[in-house]
Structure 1
Amino acid sequence: MKSSEPRRRKLTNSSPGDDAGNKAAPDAAGTEQPGGFAELAQEMAAKSSLVRKENGHIDLLAAAGGIRGIAESVLPGLVFLVVFTMTRDLAVSLVGSVAVAAVFLVARLAQHTPLTQALAGIAGVALSAFLAMKTGKAENFYAVGFYTNAAYIVAMVVSIAVRWPVLGLLFGYARNEGVRWRHKTERLRAYRAATWILVGVMAARLAVQLPLYFAGNVDALGAMRLIMGVPLYAFGLWVAWLVSRPVKDS
């Protein structure tokens, strides 16, 4: 955890290739970027977990939230699936899932680490548990994820349509391009393609999981949710990074 690890460059509110501060940054032709969108991009970059290694590749582990972030995302659902598969007891399965999410939250509180991910996680698990318990259908534990995926799809498609693709905002700052890529046709095209890749990931989840949901196949649905969760997201992000890489980016 040490000096032998490769150094990594994290996103910051201003990158060496950007004009720092809250003012709109001029592009290569001297045209100013809309300040509001530039500031939004900076804010997104600052909050992003994207990390670029010195060799130019994206750190997929960091992008997925690190070991703890992955555990917080995966374990509540895994516990629910395992317990339900073994016992077929919905109440016990839901209690186990919520308890795991609560443990992560308490651990963050005790260690005084940022609570955002843990709070979002326990809120999502609690809502999922409520829906499943209220309806008495175990498959409804996964219903919230469908709405979340659909919302991401809509947001990313809109960002592409208005020429501010989400991955351009995130990757642009990781590569010290700021938002100047918007005035370079080939870079805008590349970031739109990259964002479409993540749209495809979200759409694939719905295409595979919704039929299982409507069929009430909880075991298969839970397994697909795990397989198509962090692993598929990380793979899609890696492909999007490669697709949008500038020729000079090593």
Structure 2
Amino acid sequence: MIGAALGGAAKRAGLDPAQQGSTGRVVWSAMGGWRGVLESVLPSLTFILTYTLLPGDTREKLLPALAVSVGIAAVFTLVRLVQKSPPSAAIGGLVAAGVAAGLALITGNPSDNFIPGFITNALYGSALLISAFVGWPLIGLAVGFLVGEGTRWRTDRRKRRAFFWLTIAWAALFAARLAVQFPIYLTSLDESQRDSAVALLGTLKLVMGIPLFAPLLAVTWLVVRALYPPAPK
């Protein structure tokens, strides 16, 4: 069931090893193209810029910064609904932005806008790491479903090793984000360091987002294609 869910999500994103196309094109498609990149980047970027550039104290800047961020996510969702394109990514971004904004408004600490991201990284990283060490790496489960192999890859030492290390690599990505960003969040509990912490957290979220995600996705795709080469025409 887990493999089917992961594989289905990967297939909807365009990550089907059976399809033809260059690695760059497949990775770009999986990220949603320009629209997907903008949906991923703009809400956080506008929050950082608005909060940093506006004059005033924390509470005076927090509400407009959050309003702009959630507003951008809402616009992306509305556009997808109007165009009748799959809205799941945009809706997910809108819900995440709304939850993060609500948390920051309740506490009055703009850095709390990043807490949902910390939780997501911790959950994803833990699930990937545990799955690898119990012998059922999530990358293998997803690929097994995609190629119609089920769990038979577990009898192939080469595939089992490849999926183990790919899963560890993805777990390391989520762990690295948490290890770098969470200590900075803790500094924001000191109000005198809050503004600088928000700016740094926002910058790191962007830098450790797509710029790290895309290369790892490309490596994963290349390894899977090597394990399951397309059938000759």
Runs of 5+ unmatched residues, structure 1: 1-36
- Counterpart CA distance in 1 for 2:45 and 2:216 is 22
Is the contact made by 1:198 and 1:237 (CA closer than 8 Å) also made in structure 2?
no
Residue 144 of structure 1, aligned match among 116, 127, 130? 116
Amino acid at match of 2:114: Y
- Counterpart CA distance in 2 for 1:207 and 1:76 is 23
Which structure carries more relative contact order (alpha carbon 8 Å, separation 6+)? 2
TM-score calculated relative to the size of structure 2: 0.82
1:128 and 2:95 matched: no
Question: Paired residue for 2:30?
Answer: 63
Higher helix share: 2
Q: Structure 1, residues 223-242: CA drift from partner, whole Å, max 9, x if none? A: 00011112211122223344
Amino acid at match of 1:187: K
Is the contact made by 1:153 and 1:202 (CA closer than 8 Å) also made in structure 2?
yes
Is the contact made by 2:128 and 2:171 (CA closer than 8 Å) also made in structure 1?
yes
Per mean C-alpha deviation after superposition, the further-off stretch among 152-161 and 195-204 is: 152-161
Residue 201 of structure 1, aligned match among 167, 173, 185? 173
1:161 and 2:133 matched: yes
1:47 and 2:13 matched: no
Identity %: 37
Q: Structure 1, residues 115-154: CA drift from partner, whole Å, max 9, x if none? A: 2112111110001001111111111111110000000012
| Structure 1 residue 246: Cα displacement | 3.5
| Structure 1 residue 96: Cα displacement | 0.2
Amino acid at match of 1:69: G
1:79 and 2:50 matched: no
Runs of 5+ unmatched residues, structure 2: 56-60, 189-196
Q: How many residues align?
A: 212
Question: Paired residue for 2:64?
Answer: 92
Q: CA RMSD in A?
A: 2.2
TM-score calculated relative to the size of structure 1: 0.76
Question: Paired residue for 1:235?
Answer: 215
Q: Structure 1, residues 60-93: CA drift from partner, whole Å, max 9, x if none? A: 1122233222211111111101111101511110
Amino acid at match of 2:165: A
